Amino acid sequence: MANLELKNVHKSYGAVEVLKDINLSIRDGEFVVFVGPSGCGKSTLLRMIAGLEDITSGELRIDGALSNKLTPKQRNIAMVFQSYALYPQMTVAENMGFSLSLEKTPKAEISRKVMAAAEALKLEPLLERKPGQLSGGQRQRVAIGRAIVRSPRLFLLDEPLSNLDAALRSETRVEISELHQRLATTMIYVTHDQVEAMTMADRIVVLNGGRIEQVGSPMELYNNPASEFVASFIGSPKMNLISGGAARAFGAETVGIRPEHMIINVDDPTWQAKVTLVERLGHNTIVYARVPEIGLFTVSLDGQHDFDLGATVGLAPRVDRIHRFDAAGAPIGR
Ligand SMILES: Nc1ncnc2c1ncn2[C@@H]1O[C@H](COP(=O)(O)OP(=O)(O)OP(=O)(O)O)[C@@H](O)[C@H]1O
C-alpha cells in the first residue's frame, strides 16, 4: 500500500528532454493508468518510479519519503513487463517463489505465499507445469503471481497484455481489475491502448510528448477533454474533428463531435455526405461518410442499420454535445 508523489520531475537523455515537469499524486489503493502514443514517455516514467532509471531533476516521494535515490529493492515495488521473462526450466510454483528463495525465506512461508497467489490468480492446477506448457495468458498470470508473492506496496505493470490475442486480452483485463479490487494495492499500469485505460483505471494520466495533458477519471476525460489531443485520443471510434470554415461556423478553430453524437438522415442536415463504408458489429453500426471539402465522418448508431455504399445522407451534430477548441487546441467553454 503506498501513496506516491511526483514533483516537478524531469528526465533527459543527454540533451533530449523526454519528460517535462511531471506533477502527479497517486493515492493509496488507486489504479492509475498512464496512456499516450508511442514515445510519449510513459515507460520511462514508470521505470523512474521503479528505480530502473535515474530522475534527472524533481522529487519522487513514496509514502512521504524522498525516494529518488532508493534502489528498486528498497522501494518494495513489483514490476510486471510485457515479456513474461519466466525461467523455462522451473515449474510455475518455482518461478513464483524464486525471488523469495533468493532472500532465504523459509520454505514453508514460500509455499504458503505461492499457494495464496496461485489461488488469487486461479493458477492452482498449473503449479507443477513448466512455462512452455502454458498459454500466453497463463504465463502472464504467473508473471503477475511472481510479483504478488513479494507483497509489494506498489505494483507497476508495463503493457502486460500486449502479447495476448484480443479475446485473452479482455479476459486478463478483467482478471487484473478483480485482482486490484481484492488486493487493494496501488497499481500503475502503462498502455498505449485507450480502451484498456478507460475500462481499468480509477484515474487516467494522458501523456503527450513528455508532458501530462490531463489527469482524470475515464468519464471526466471523455466528457470534458482538456485539449484537442485528449479529445482525439480518448474514445473509440475516434471523435470527428473538423477545422477551417466548417468549424468557424460554430465559433471555433476546431470542432469535435463524437461518432455517437452524430445524427444521420435528418430533415435539416448540416452536411450532405456520401456513404463510403459500413461496419456492422451487431450491437451497433459504424457508418463512414465523406463530406466534400470537409472530410470523412464516422457515425456510430445503436443496433443494426442498412446503408447503401455511395448513398447520399444528411448529417448533423447533436449541438449540445459539440466540443469546440481554439487554435492552440484548448477547449472553448461548453
Ligand atoms: N536510453 C535512452 N536513451 C535515449 N533516449 C531514450 C532512451 N530510452 C527512451 N528514450 C526516448 O525517450 C522517449 C520516451 O520513451 P518511452 O519508452 O518512455 O516511451 P513510451 O511512451 O513508453 O513508448 P512506447 O509505447 O513506444 O513504449 C522516446 O522518444 C525514446 O526514444
Which residue has a Cα nearest atom 14 of ligand 1?
41
Where the chain has pLDDT below 70, the residues are 1, 334
User: Atom of ligand 1 at shortest distance to CA of 47?
Assistant: 18
Nearest to 154 by CA among 8, 52, 36, 27: 27
Task: Please identify, by atom number, the ligand 1 atom nearest to the C-alpha of residue 36.
Answer: 21
Q: How far is ligand 1, taken at its centre, from the CA of residue 276, in Å?
A: 38
Q: Average pLDDT over the chain, rounded to whole? A: 93
Domains of the chain: 4-230 (3.40.50.300), 238-332 (2.40.50.140)
Note the pLDDT of residue 316. Answer: 96
Residue 56 CA to ligand 1 center (angstroms) comes to: 15
How many angstroms separate the CA atoms of 128 and 126, rounded? 6
pLDDT at 19: 98
- Position 22 scores a pLDDT of 98
Under 8 Å between Cβ of 173 and 200: yes
Q: 68 C-alpha to center of ligand 1: Å?
A: 20
Verify whether ligand 1 is closer than 6 Å to residue 13 (CB atom): yes
Q: What pLDDT is recorded for position 296?
A: 97
Q: Indicate whether residue 11 lines ligand 1 (CB < 6 A).
A: no
Cα torsion at 226, 62, 144, 39 (round to 10°)?
Answer: 40
pLDDT tens profile 98-144: 989 988 899 999 999 999 989 888 899 999 999 999 988 888 889 98
- Closest-CA residue, ligand 1 atom 22, reads 43
Give the pLDDT of residue 103: 87
Best residue among 20, 35, 40 to mutate for probing ligand 1's pocket (most ligand atoms within 8 Å of CB) is: 40
CB of 192 shorter than 6 A to ligand 1: yes
With a pLDDT cut of 70, the percent of the chain lying above it is 99
Pocket test for ligand 1, best of 20, 42, 44, 161 (most atoms within 8 A of CB): 44
Distance 122 CA to ligand 1 centre (A): 35
The one-letter amino acid at 298: T
